[in-house]
Amino acid sequence: MVKLYLHDIWTTVVDMKWRYKLSLFVSTFLTTWFFFGLIFYLIAMTNNDLNTEQALNHTPCVINVATLTGAYLFSLESQTTIGYGFRHISEECPHAIVTLVLQLVLTGLAEIFVTGAFLAKLARPKKRAETVKFSQLALISKYKGQVCVMVRVANMRKSPLVQCQLSGKLLFPNVTEEGEKIQLHQESVNFQFDSSEQCPFLVLPLIFYHVLDENSPLASLTAENLKVRNFELVVTLNGTMESTASTCQSRTSYVPQEFRWGYEFKPLLFGTHKGKYVADFHYFDEIQLSNDFSLLQDPINEKLLLEHEYHKD
């Protein structure tokens, strides 16, 4: 498992939590400063620069570096391009020059990698996806004469999401024709907005529909067996942020206890005297009985139908 993470080190670093990423950022600089400072200290030691009783014609490799602390400070100054005035390399030691060049090249690449990982994490639209709101319940009612599963989705930011598409996966246990038991069998559940599978932009709250026809994996769903079925409907919204053209993805899921048969969402868009539309999110999760009573003609919803007719009278 560790090899797999190290094989794709870029994604591993980008997916790191911020506290680990900050630790990596700081440790990258501290480690490279100390590592190359230690190399310069060893070069000075090999060249006998640390001897206080040096010959008059002796030229140190790194001027004014006589301790490990001085070598560390020289490495720091070289890598951060602070500049030289007190410590600098002489022309007598080619291996010190080569070490300095290697330090600048390698640490430059390391800084690009770590800084790029920071920018990539900041630019990820993960937080943007958290501003997409799904309805708490999935409703089953009629839309344009067809029985549909309905889910309401809203964009909580003023900046719109474009090219939005809602898709679903139905997860349920299944037994194949060969007798193999599959705990999480998956089937696609296609949602659509009006007559297309994609809405141009998501500004106002919208309702997406999945038709329960013969091609639907939920075709056998009825008001009677809804509560005893064992499945989970995972719904995913894919959209593109208009401001950055980056894609974001937000998801939720519904179990049978979160379905309501014969209900529809209450309207939440209201017109103002200025000709504008206002969305009242107090009604976002509010539901009401469907006007099509044919869905309520079963023993489970008989009580609800009687209550609805009573309040109507």
Determine the distance from the C-alpha atom of residue 9 to the mean position of all C-alpha atoms in its chain, rounded to a whole number: 18
Q: What percent of the chain has pLDDT over 70?
A: 85
Question: What pLDDT score was predicted for residue 299?
Answer: 43
The verdict on 75 and 175 lying in the same domain is no
Q: Which of 283, 260, 279, 259 is nearest to 270 (CA)?
A: 279
Q: Does position 134 have pLDDT exceeding 90, yes or no?
A: yes
pLDDT band at 234 (very low <50, low <70, confident <90, very high): very high
Q: Can you tell me the distance from the alpha carbon of 47 to that of 62, in angstroms, rounded to the nearest whole number? A: 10
Distances (CA, A) of 40 to 80, 93, 97: 16, 11, 10
Query: For residues 13 and 304, which has the higher predicted lDDT (pLDDT)?
Result: 13
Tokens 């330090």 correspond to: 103
Check whether residue 64 and residue 201 sit in a common domain.
no
Question: Which whole number is the average pLDDT over 111-135?
Answer: 81
- CA–CA gap between residue 311 and residue 313 (Å, rounded): 5
Write down the residue that tokens 């993805």 correspond to: 249
The residue out of 108, 124, 140 marking a domain boundary is 124
Model confidence at 9: pLDDT above 60: yes
**Domain end position, chosen among 124, 140, 166:** 124
Provide the pairing of β-strand 88-89 with 277-279: unpaired
Report how many domains make up the chain: 2
Residue 111 to residues 27, 120, 130, 299, 313: CA-CA distances in angstroms?
11, 14, 31, 68, 74
d(CA 44, CA 41): 5
Render pLDDT for 164-214 as a digit per residue (tens, 0 to 9).
888 999 998 887 777 778 888 899 999 988 756 667 778 788 899 999 988
Q: What percent of the chain has pLDDT over 90?
A: 18
The position carrying tokens 């064992």 is 230
Q: Which residue has tokens 């990982």? A: 117
Range of the domain at 140: 132-312
Mean pLDDT of 145-161: 87
| Domain end residue (candidates: 105, 124, 143) | 124
Q: Which two tokens stand for residue 176?
A: 């194949």
* pTM across the whole model: 0.65
